[in-house]
Amino acid sequence: MTAIDPRLSADMMEATRLTREARLSEATVLIQRLLQGKRDPGSVPGARVGSAGFGTRPPSAGHASRALDVDPATGAEKNADITSSGMGTVPSAVSLTFKKPRGFLDRIDHRGVMQNLNDLPGRPMERVGPLVPDGARFETAIHAGAHGSRAFKLYAPSGLRAGQSVPLVVMLHGCTQSPDDFAAGTQMNKLAEEQIFLVAYPAQPASANAQKCWNWFSPGDQERNSGEPALIAGITRQVMRDYAVDPARIYVAGLSAGGAAAAIMAAAYPDLYAAVGVHSGLACGAARDIPSAFAAMRQGGVGTRPWTSAGALSSQIGRTVPTIVFHADRDTTVHPNNSDYVLAQAGATAGDLTTTVEHGQVPNGGRTFTRILHATDCGTAVLEQWTVHGGGHAWSGGSPEGSYTDPRGPDASREMLRFFLDHPHPSPIADAC
């Protein structure tokens, strides 16, 4: 029998410990690394689903994902050649697992790491497709352009009529999540059924980031017409071409790394997005590399606006993009004061605003919260900040059907949608009110 590398055995024991502590998402990530034959030295220790933690971009990957490497159902990398991916030498014991993966999983089972791989969480909706009402569609598409390609999923509600002009909400998932998982957790598709709008879920593949995080900390992914912002904007415009989207009602929101990416989209494309929702995220430009990203996550990071390049309407450069922020005060993954920096960045051009503070509690023993509104002289709240008391790094009011949700919190999806629909994109000739 082939001897098992001692480092591999140590990782097995660690995966066992995580499983026994019910930290199954972390155990899953570790097991996936075992199957890949190496540890990922660039990933966040104990990275969790939906966290703003991140893995390193594989050496062979650039901004442009290769279309043949994208699984159209999930956005994950496929058909990768591990012997030429820059991963280095694969230990002999692990090399055998690629020839006989079931045998390796059996050895893990015998060591008590897991009883059944199918019972592990992390990507449940990729195994069983989400339920879609009769007449609705939740379909996969591919965007390909000058900056590369990305898979995305698009939800069209059953009540959508041909040619009907409707809003579009672009939802950016957190690390290790997928479009299906994020849709299940946020329940945004359910709201689309109620109020008739389209929902697009861009998928970040492992070929772009080992943990499927949006690369919010990379300078090349913080600029207009560059990297991931160009891809997300390209997806948005593709949906606009294919459907009768109301150009005045296009919005973007995200969780954690996706929240940070949403803040970037609002700063880089104020002419495209009417308003933005940032949940447990960071301001645009809060980090410029991996060390500064860790620092921003730990203690908060001041945002810097990107230079809005040619292509944006001149009347939109410097526009205050209405922003709604959710963050829990016991978030140990992304420091809660990052919500203050997001609001400060968004309101930098807003002038004097009137502040109103409200307190409340979710019915039936739910969490308490503080809601702060910042309104113009016209009485319109252009900035809205929710602090969820006692919550952690999770989508507030989300469904347990998805990963990293807090069902006890106020309904972030519904509140974001309410805020969005109250803020259509201003006409270039509209007055201040």
- Residue partners of 3: CB distance under 8 A and separation at least 6: 93
Helix (H) or strand (E) holding 25: helix 24-36
> 426: burial class by Cβ within 10 Å (0-12, 13-18, 19+)?
middle
The CA–CA distances, whole Å, from 115 to 14, 29, 170 equal 15, 16, 37
The half-sphere exposure of 155 on its side-chain side, counting CA atoms within 13 A, is 30
Q: Is 171 helix (H, G, I), strand (E, B) or coil?
A: strand
Amino acid, res. 271: D
- Dist. CA 284–CA 233, nearest whole Å: 16
Q: Is 150 helix (H, G, I), strand (E, B) or coil?
A: strand
- Dist. CA 35–CA 97, nearest whole Å: 7
Q: Is 170 in contact with 253 (CB distance < 8 Å)?
A: yes
pTM for this entry: 0.71
Q: Is 268 in contact with 229 (CB distance < 8 Å)?
A: yes
Closest by alpha carbon to 419, among 410, 428, 430, 427? Answer: 410
Beta bridge partners of 358: 371
- Dist. CA 227–CA 222, nearest whole Å: 8
- What averages of pLDDT result for each successive group of 10 residues across the chain (433 residues)? 49 61 59 50 33 39 31 36 32 30 31 28 42 91 92 96 94 96 97 97 94 94 94 97 96 98 95 96 94 93 65 57 97 96 88 92 96 91 97 96 96 98 76 51
- In terms of C-beta distances under 8 Å and separation of at least 24 residues, what long-range contacts does 75-79 make, across chains too? 75/150, 75/151, 75/152, 75/178, 75/179, 75/202, 75/203, 75/204, 75/205, 75/212, 76/178, 76/203, 76/205, 76/206, 76/212, 77/205, 77/206, 77/207
Please report, for the chain, the start and end positions of each structural domain, with discontinuous segments joined by +: 6-125, 131-421
Q: Is 389 in contact with 428 (CB distance < 8 Å)?
A: no
Pairing type for strands 245-255 and 166-172 reads parallel
Pairing type for strands 148-156 and 198-202 reads antiparallel
What's the confidence (pLDDT) of residue 350? 78
**Superfamily of 131-421 according to CATH:** Alpha/Beta hydrolase fold, catalytic domain (3.40.50.1820)
Taking each helix axis as running N to C, give the angle between helix 179-186 and helix 188-195, from 0 to 180 degrees, rounded to the nearest 10. 60
